[in-house]
Chains A and B, each alone.
Chain A
Amino acid sequence: MAKLDNVLYGHLWRPFASLMVIVLLLPLFVKSSYILTVLILIGIYSLISIGLSLLLGYAGQISLGHAAFFGIGAYVSGVLTAKYAGSPWIAMVIGIVFTWLVSYVIGMAILRLKGHFLALATMAINIIFFILILGLDEFTGGASGLVGIPSLSLFQLNLGNPLYFYFFVWFIVFVIILFSMNIIRSNIGRLLRSIHDSEIATETLGVNVAKYKVIIFSLSAVYASLAGSLYAHFISFIAPPSFYITFSILLLVMVMVGGVHSIWGAVLGTAIIMFLNEWIRYIGQTYFHISGQVEIVVYGLIIILVMMFMPKGLVDILERLWKKIKSVQIKGAEKRKMTTEKGA
C-alpha cells in the first residue's frame, strides 16, 4: 500500500526534485544582481499564485483581490517593524493570523456568490483595502509609502544579502509547494476537484462545500500574506500601487498562463510572466520610449489568447507533448523489436 499515493496521483518527487535542481543551480549562472532580484520576486509571487491555483484550479473560485491580502502581509510587517521596531518574525506571524481572520470573515460573506459576482466582490475588497492604506496614512505612510523596513536575519545569517534571501525565499516556496501538494494528494484535494465537476453531488456525499471554499480561500490569502511580508522586507519600501487590482489581475494571468489545475503551472506561469514583464518594459523603453503601464495592455491580450488557445495552460501542453514523445519512443522501440525478431 506504500505506493497508493503514486497510483492515485502520479509521482510527486520528480517535478519537485527537478525544480529544486534548477533553483539550486541558477545562481551559478546568474551574475547580474538585477536578474537575481527578478528570481527572488518570482519566488515571492509564486507563493501567491500557488494559493490562487488551489483556489481557482481546485476549489473553482475566482479572486481578483489577492493583492489586498498580499498588502495586508506587507503592511503588517512593514508598519510593525519600521514604525514600532517589532520583531520581523513575530510581525510576519501576526500578519498571517490577521489575514486568516479577515479572509475567513470575507470568505463567508462573499463565497456564496458565483462567477462574475464573486469576481466583482473580490475586486471591491481590493479597492477597499487600497483606500484604507491610503487613508490610514498615520500608520501606512499613505500615498508616499512606507520606508525603512529592515531586512530579515535568521540566526546570525543576514538575509539582506540577496543570494541568501534568494535561497531563503525558495526554501519557503518548496515548503508551501509540499504543503499544498499534500492537500491535493488527499481526500481534501479529491473533494476540491469533485466540487468542480458537480457541486450538488459533492454536497450529497456529505461535504460541507461552503466550508471548504472558505478554508481554501483563507489558505490562499495566508500564502499571499506571507509573500507580502517577505516582499516588504526584501524591497524595504512599500507603497499602495503595488497592492492595487492591476496586481491581482497580473497574478491571475500568471496562474492562467501556467495552467490553473497545477501547482507547477502556477510557478511556471509566474516565472514566464515576470520575465515577459521585464522584457516588455525593456522593449517599451528602448524602442518606443514609453515608460508607463504598457504591461497591462499586454496582460489583457494574454488573457484573451490563453482563454482561446490554451485554456488549460502551458503545463497541459507540456504534459501532452511529453506523452507524445514517450509514445513515439515506445512505438520506435516496438518497431526495432519487431524487425530484430523478423531478422532472427
Chain B
Amino acid sequence: MANLLEVKQLTKKFGGITAVDRIDFSLEEGEVVAVIGPNGAGKTTLFNMISCFIPPTSGEVIYKGERLTGRKIFELAHLGISRTFQNLQIFNNMTVLENVMMGVHVKLKTNVFSAGFRLPTVKKNEEIAYQLALDVLEMVELKDFMYKKAGNLSYGLQKQLEFARAIVYHPQLILLDEPMAGLNDAETNRMAGYIKELKKKGCSFLFVEHKMATVMELADRIIVMDFGKKIAEGTPHEIARNEKVISAYLGEEAF
C-alpha cells in the first residue's frame, strides 16, 4: 500500500532543548498509528509540526508524495487532513450543530458576495452542511444536544463534539491529540468505537494517547517517543515486549 504520510528526520529545537529529535516514520493508507511516550516526550510538538502549526528546525513531512511542511494551516483541511487538540478547541458560544457545520467549510463554495445577495448556491450549501452535520451528530450520539451551546456541554461530550467536527467533511487523515484524555470508561469505549468505524470506511489515524489499553486495542502500529527521540516502533504485540520501552516508559504495571 502507498504511504499516505511520511515524516523524515523531523526535528524541533526550542532554545536549548530538542523537543523532537530526528523522528522518522510513515503511515500507510487506512492505517491507525499511535504515538506514545511520557509527559514532555515531544508528542504534541511532533503533531504541531505535521499539522503546520510550527515550522520544524529541520526535516520535512510528505503527504501523498508532496511536501506538507511550509504550508499554511488552513490548507491542510483542503488536502483532507483534520486534527483535534489536546486542550480542546471548540466554539463555546455556538451551538453543537453550528460547531459541526463549521467542519464542513471546505466543502462549501459560499463567498461574501454570494452570501450577501443570497444566491441559490448559498441555500444549497447550507443544506449540505446541515445534512452532513446531522449524519455525524447521529453517529456520535450528540443529536439530542444539537441546539445546546457547546460551552455548556460536559467535558466528555465536548471531546466528542470536537471529534465530530474534525470528521464531518470526510477527511482522509485524522490527527488526534489525546482523544480519550479526561473521558470515563464508557466514553473512552465509545470514542474507540467511532475510530474503528471510520477506519473501516478507509480513514487513517495518527493519534497520541496515554491510555495503554485503548492504544493496544486500536493501533496497527505504535511509535514510542522519549525525550524527543523515537525509541521503538512496532505492532502492539512487539511494543508490549520491547525491553527498551518497558524500562524507559511503561514500567511493569502497565501490562
A: residues with CB less than 8 A from B are: 1, 4-5, 8, 179-180, 182-183, 186-191, 193-194, 196-198, 200-209, 215-216, 219
Given contacts A4-B127, A205-B105, contact A197 B77 (CB under 8 A): no
Cross-chain contact A201 with B90 (CB below 8 angstroms) = yes
Cross-chain contact B126 with A208 (CB below 8 angstroms) = no
25 A-B residue pairings within 8 Å (CB atoms): A5-B126, A8-B98, A8-B126, A182-B118, A183-B112, A186-B118, A186-B125, A187-B101, A188-B112, A190-B98, A190-B101, A191-B102, A191-B105, A198-B91, A201-B85, A203-B74, A204-B77, A204-B82, A204-B83, A205-B77, A205-B102, A205-B103, A206-B105, A208-B74, A209-B74
For the complex of A and B, 10 pairs with smallest distance between CB atoms: A206-B77, A201-B89, A197-B91, A206-B106, A186-B115, A179-B116, A198-B89, A203-B73, A182-B118, A188-B115
**A207 CA / B83 CA spacing, docked (Å):** 14
B75: nearest chain-A partner, CB-CB: A206
What is the distance, in angstroms, from B93's C-beta to the closest C-beta of chain A? 6
Q: A189-B115, A201-B89, A208-B74 are in contact. List 14 more A-B contacts (CB 8 A).
A: A4-B130, A182-B118, A182-B122, A186-B115, A186-B118, A190-B98, A190-B102, A193-B91, A198-B89, A201-B90, A204-B74, A205-B77, A206-B105, A207-B74
Partner of B93, one of A4, A197, A207: A197
Cross-chain contact B116 with A182 (CB below 8 angstroms) = yes
A interface footprint on B95-132 (CB within 8 Å = 1, 0 otherwise):
00111011111101011100111100010011101100
Cross-chain contact B90 with A186 (CB below 8 angstroms) = no
A193: nearest chain-B partner, CB-CB: B94
Cross-chain contact B105 with A182 (CB below 8 angstroms) = no
The answer, yes or no, to whether B78 is at the interface (CB within 8 Å) is yes
Partner of A206, one of B74, B97, B127: B74
Partner of B90, one of A183, A198, A215: A198
Cross-chain contact B112 with A215 (CB below 8 angstroms) = yes
**A202 CA / B90 CA spacing, docked (Å):** 9
A198: nearest chain-B partner, CB-CB: B89
What is the distance, in angstroms, from A267's C-beta to the closest C-beta of chain B? 18
A180: nearest chain-B partner, CB-CB: B116
**A5 CA / B127 CA spacing, docked (Å):** 10
A54: nearest chain-B partner, CB-CB: B112
Cross-chain contact B93 with A204 (CB below 8 angstroms) = no
What is the distance, in angstroms, from B73's C-beta to the closest C-beta of chain A? 5
Cross-chain contact A205 with B106 (CB below 8 angstroms) = yes
Residues of A within 8 A of B152 (CB): none
Cross-chain contact B93 with A208 (CB below 8 angstroms) = no
Cross-chain contact A193 with B93 (CB below 8 angstroms) = yes
The answer, yes or no, to whether B72 is at the interface (CB within 8 Å) is yes
**A288 CA / B77 CA spacing, docked (Å):** 63
Residues of A within 8 A of B111 (CB): 188
What is the distance, in angstroms, from B202's C-beta to the closest C-beta of chain A? 20
Given contacts A187-B101, A188-B110, A197-B93, contact A182 B115 (CB under 8 A): yes
Residues of A within 8 A of B85 (CB): 200-201
What is the distance, in angstroms, from A177's C-beta to the closest C-beta of chain B? 11
What is the distance, in angstroms, from B169's C-beta to the closest C-beta of chain A? 8
Given contacts A1-B127, A193-B91, A201-B91, contact A183 B115 (CB under 8 A): yes
Given contacts A182-B118, A187-B108, A206-B105, contact A194 B94 (CB under 8 A): yes
The answer, yes or no, to whether B51 is at the interface (CB within 8 Å) is yes
The answer, yes or no, to whether B183 is at the interface (CB within 8 Å) is no
Q: Which of A179, A191, A205, A219 has the most CB of B within 10 A?
A: A205
**A4 CA / B118 CA spacing, docked (Å):** 14
Cross-chain contact A204 with B78 (CB below 8 angstroms) = no
What is the distance, in angstroms, from B230's C-beta to the closest C-beta of chain A? 25
Residues of B within 8 A of A216 (CB): 112
Residues of A within 8 A of B73 (CB): 200, 203-204
Q: Which of A186, A198, A200 has the most CB of B within 10 A?
A: A186
The answer, yes or no, to whether B165 is at the interface (CB within 8 Å) is yes
Residues of B within 8 A of A201 (CB): 85, 89-91
Residues of B within 8 A of A183 (CB): 112, 115-116
**A206 CA / B99 CA spacing, docked (Å):** 14
What is the distance, in angstroms, from A153's C-beta to the closest C-beta of chain B? 27
A179: nearest chain-B partner, CB-CB: B116
What is the distance, in angstroms, from B223's C-beta to the closest C-beta of chain A? 23
**A80 CA / B131 CA spacing, docked (Å):** 51
**A141 CA / B101 CA spacing, docked (Å):** 53
The answer, yes or no, to whether B39 is at the interface (CB within 8 Å) is no
